[in-house]
Structure 1
Amino acid sequence: MRWGLVLSGLLLCLSPSLGKAEAVDHVSSASTSSELGLWLSAGKDGVFSIEHCGNNGNALCGRLVGMDYDGEMPKDTWGRAECGLWMLTDFVPIEDHKWSGHILDPRSGRVYQAFIWLSEPNVLKLRGYVLGMPLLGKTETWTRYNGGAFGPQCKMPPQPH
């Protein structure tokens, strides 16, 4: 399965996958210039919902809500379906439209440091890195998701390449 979204772009040693069964209705937020909303991964094979989280709702978290896969739904290292997994956690603001937090590689179970930021109103950058050194990482470009609704078990409609 190809899935170059979060974690393949994160580090060379990562190999992302997907998870939890549920149908998700798509609500377009294309006119918003916010990190919140639905984001299509760089590989166009996963969609994340980024939303407020934390005790005061002042952090951002992201869960996988749509996937492009064939056959059985991908599972994480613990055997859970990947759809619905919270893979971006505890992102706190560090400057205007730039957030620092953590990202999960569901296949290895490892958690890495990451930044997310808006480079344009509908373009989100994600940089994952190791050893507390952003130079030891890679940046991916995600775009706001404007596709159709997801089917059962987070199945994405076909995406144009």
Structure 2
Amino acid sequence: MRWGLILSGLLACLSPSMGRAAATADVSSAAGPTELGLWLSGGKDGVFSIERCGSNGNALCGKLVGMDYDGEMPKDTWGRAECGLWMLTDFVPVEDHKWGGHILDPRSGRVYQAYIWLSEPNVLKLRGYVLGMPLLGKTETWTRYTGGAFGAQCKMPPQPH
């Protein structure tokens, strides 16, 4: 999968060190964070559902719900289907309009620090990094998913380029 290759390429260049963001901020408005919903990856070959998670519902997590692939369902390093994997975990508010958490590279099994934020109403930025230094990372641009329903085993309908 292209998005997996892009993400794997980014993460392969990074050390597996990770940590938690120390600062926390107030949770988004009572209506809910605008980061919730379906997001199409930068390579337009994966869709993630970002949802509330955590014991008090104040964190955000994201799972892979749609994929563009041929043949068998792609599997992670442990042999699990990538469809439905929680790859974005424990994102909590760290500063104004930015969430800090972790991202899983399903091919290596490594987990990295990451930020997500909206740069525009329907544009989400995801920056994976290591060593507590966002400068040592890479940012991907995701867009809100407006495509059709997913087929069996998370199969995405064809996407316009």
**TM bin (shorter chain):** 0.7 to 0.9
Q: Which has the higher contact order (CA 8 A, sep 6+)?
A: 1
User: Is residue 10–residue 140 contact of structure 1 (8 Å, CA) maintained in 2?
Assistant: no
Higher alpha-carbon Rg:
2
Give SS of 1:63's match: strand
- The aligned amino acid for 2:36 is L
* Aligned equivalent of 1:66: 66
> What percent identity do the matched residue pairs reach?
90
CA shift for structure 1 position 11: 3.1
1:9-158 superposed matches below 5 A: 10-13=10-13, 34-158=34-158
> Could you say if the C-alpha distance between residues 40 and 6 of structure 1 is closer, same or farther in structure 2, counting changes exceeding 3 Å?
farther
CA RMSD, 1 decimal: 1.9
Normalised by the size of structure 2, how large is the TM-score? 0.84
CA shift for structure 1 position 81: 0.2
Normalised by the size of structure 1, how large is the TM-score? 0.84
User: Is residue 3–residue 43 contact of structure 2 (8 Å, CA) maintained in 1?
Assistant: yes
User: Is residue 63–residue 88 contact of structure 1 (8 Å, CA) maintained in 2?
Assistant: yes
Cα distance in 2 between the residues matched to 1:97 and 1:51: 16
User: Is residue 59–residue 92 contact of structure 2 (8 Å, CA) maintained in 1?
Assistant: yes
Give SS of 2:7's match: helix
Cα distance in 2 between the residues matched to 1:128 and 1:53: 20
Q: How many residues align?
A: 144
Structure 1 unmatched runs, 5+: 15-31
| Partner deviation per Cα, 1:33-90 (whole Å, 9 max, x = no partner) | 7000000000000000000000000000000000000000000000000000000000
Cα distance in 1 between the residues matched to 2:142 and 2:5: 8
- The aligned amino acid for 1:82 is E
- The aligned amino acid for 2:57 is G
User: Is residue 40–residue 144 contact of structure 2 (8 Å, CA) maintained in 1?
Assistant: yes
Cα distance in 2 between the residues matched to 1:51 and 1:10: 24
Cα distance in 1 between the residues matched to 2:57 and 2:5: 26
